[in-house]
Amino acid sequence: MAKGKYVKRRDHGGKATARMVLILAVLLLFMGSMLVFKACQRPDVPGEESNASTEKKPGFWNPFKDPHETTEPSTEPTTVPTEPFVSATASVGVTGDILVHGPLIEAAKQNDGTYDFNNIYTYIQDYYNDVDFMIANLEVTLGGEAAGEYRGYPTFNCPDSMIDALKNAGVDMMLTANNHTYDTGHNGFVRTQEVLDKKGMPHLGTRLSEDTDSYIVQDINGIKVGLVCYTYESGRTEDGRKALNGIPITAADTNLVSTFSYDNLTGFYNEVEQTLAAMEEDGADFSMVFMHWGEEYQLSPNSRQTGIAQSLCELGVDIIVGGHPHVIQPFSTLTSTTGHQTYCIYSVGNAVSNQRRETLETSPNQEHTEDGMIFSVEFEKWSDGRVNISDINILPTWVERQTKNSKRVYTIVPLDLEVDWNTYDIASHDKLYPSYDQTMALVGAGLNDAKAAFGKEPVPLYSQDPPAETTAPAA
């Protein structure tokens, strides 16, 4: 039995050997067929992708692949978490009164009888263009020849070419609601707006039809800012018509100028509330209200200004920009009872005028009428939809008046501390630092409080002593 057992083992081993030989033969046959199949494929063509790659192309049969496995890519969305980022920014700049007195008109007159005001903006235009949307207060009318001669105070009639100069300098919008809006009556009121429209200069505060909104929602780089402008009424006539600069407004025009009365502030607040709601419905992300208010030549806001500002804050206004005093007044951050913050500059002063310490000897603070500023606000929109105010800046300016070739020349001088002021072709370099100091003494503390809240660096409050390189050259 043992022998038979061993014989059986030998027989089993023989069968195994035979099976192995058979399996090897089949494998060799299969591999040979694969080589033949490969050899029959289209040869590589120069300049085309080689087929020699072992990576299986879509649709190529793979004998080692599970036939039930799908070859379609996954349609499940792949989300990569990211932090919110700033998707858009916008800046709005505002300067003060364009107050064209008689001497400025005379200075702009050319030999051929035309008027050229471009030289006024030679040094400031780069700063006007540095913001995305620049606004100035047009405190004159464009009454044309029908309104009589071109003239300054007390009823202004300015040549149309002032608008060309402002547009060339980078101004994008004019404020037209102020106490001089009606200086040349109904005809001048209408013509001023028609000239602005013809020259492609948007205006805010007056309109030609009640079908036109009294506000504008301006889209700036995808951020929408609601803008509205009001001026104080100088009184009412016996028949109830409101007046500006003592000039009664016609019944047809009375609703075409955005005004407020110190004697009816409740009505004014109701109107502002309705306007804010309308601007929000039109998509406004922020609101800016321009106020022509206060007392001339006063360096501090009066109680009526501060009261109105706080009430506008309570209504939800984001930015208040004031004008009319012809001097700069402080900047403040206001907070409502619900915690809403409003940034208010009570007066941005004059942009250009002939109001000077030499011509206003009997007026208080007359030297401050030469000072002005560009007040700018920066906005941000985030990828998650949030919008916020990110910074507020002030660039002080000063108006130079000198005589060249027996003719007066007016120039707005930007007081940028990063620029060598000796490069300005002016005669009064020694007045630049005192002007800067005066402005920053008024607005610097409030401005830097706001900038600290934004996490921004403060601006210098005082120059102390002028640096050597900006000291006026020796005569």
Predicted confidence at residue 46, as pLDDT, reads 42
Rounded to the nearest 10 degrees, the angle between the axes of helix 265-281 and helix 303-315 is 40
The pLDDT tens digits for 169-219 are 999 999 999 999 999 999 999 999 999 999 999 999 999 999 999 999 999
Cα separation, 183 vs 234, in Å, equals 13
Length of the chain: 475
Burial class of residue 169 in the structure, from the number of CB atoms within 10 Å of its CB (0-12 exposed, 13-18 middle, 19+ buried): buried
Q: What is the DSSP string of 155-214?
A: S-B--THHHHHHHHHT--EEE--STTTTTTHHHHHHHHHHHHHHTT--EESB-S-TTS-S
- Assign residue 205 a region: left if phi > 0, alpha if psi is -120 to 50, beta otherwise? left
Predicted confidence at residue 18, as pLDDT, reads 47
321 within 8 A of 288, measured Cβ to Cβ: yes
Predicted confidence at residue 51, as pLDDT, reads 42
Helix (H) and strand (E) counts in the chain: 8, 18
326 within 8 A of 346, measured Cβ to Cβ: no
Bond from prior residue into 81 cis (ω within 30 degrees of 0): no
Q: Cα 379 from chain centroid?
A: 7
Q: SS3 letters for 90-125?
A: EEEEEEEEECCCHHHHHHHECCCCCECCHHHHCCCH
Cα separation, 136 vs 93, in Å, equals 9
Predicted confidence at residue 150, as pLDDT, reads 97
Predicted confidence at residue 358, as pLDDT, reads 84
Output phi, psi for 345, to 5 deg.
-105, 115
Q: Cα 177 from chain centroid?
A: 21
Predicted confidence at residue 405, as pLDDT, reads 87
Predicted confidence at residue 78, as pLDDT, reads 63
Predicted confidence at residue 361, as pLDDT, reads 80
Domain ranges of the chain: 86-470
Tokens of 142: 């464009």
Strands 86-98 and 350-352 come out as parallel
pLDDT tens by residue, the chain, 475 residues: 333 322 233 344 444 444 454 445 545 555 555 554 444 444 444 444 444 443 433 333 333 344 444 555 556 666 666 899 999 999 999 999 999 999 999 999 999 999 999 999 999 999 999 999 999 999 999 999 999 999 999 999 999 999 999 999 999 999 999 999 999 999 999 999 999 999 999 999 999 999 999 999 999 999 999 999 999 999 888 888 899 999 999 999 999 999 999 999 999 999 999 999 999 999 999 999 999 999 999 999 999 999 999 999 999 999 999 999 999 999 999 999 999 999 999 999 999 999 998 888 878 898 899 999 999 999 999 999 999 999 999 999 999 999 998 899 999 999 999 999 999 999 999 999 999 999 999 999 999 999 999 999 998 877 655 544 444 333 3
Per CATH, is 86-470 categorized as 3.60.21.10? yes
Predicted confidence at residue 240, as pLDDT, reads 81
Predicted confidence at residue 158, as pLDDT, reads 98
Predicted confidence at residue 359, as pLDDT, reads 84
Predicted confidence at residue 445, as pLDDT, reads 94
328 within 8 A of 347, measured Cβ to Cβ: yes
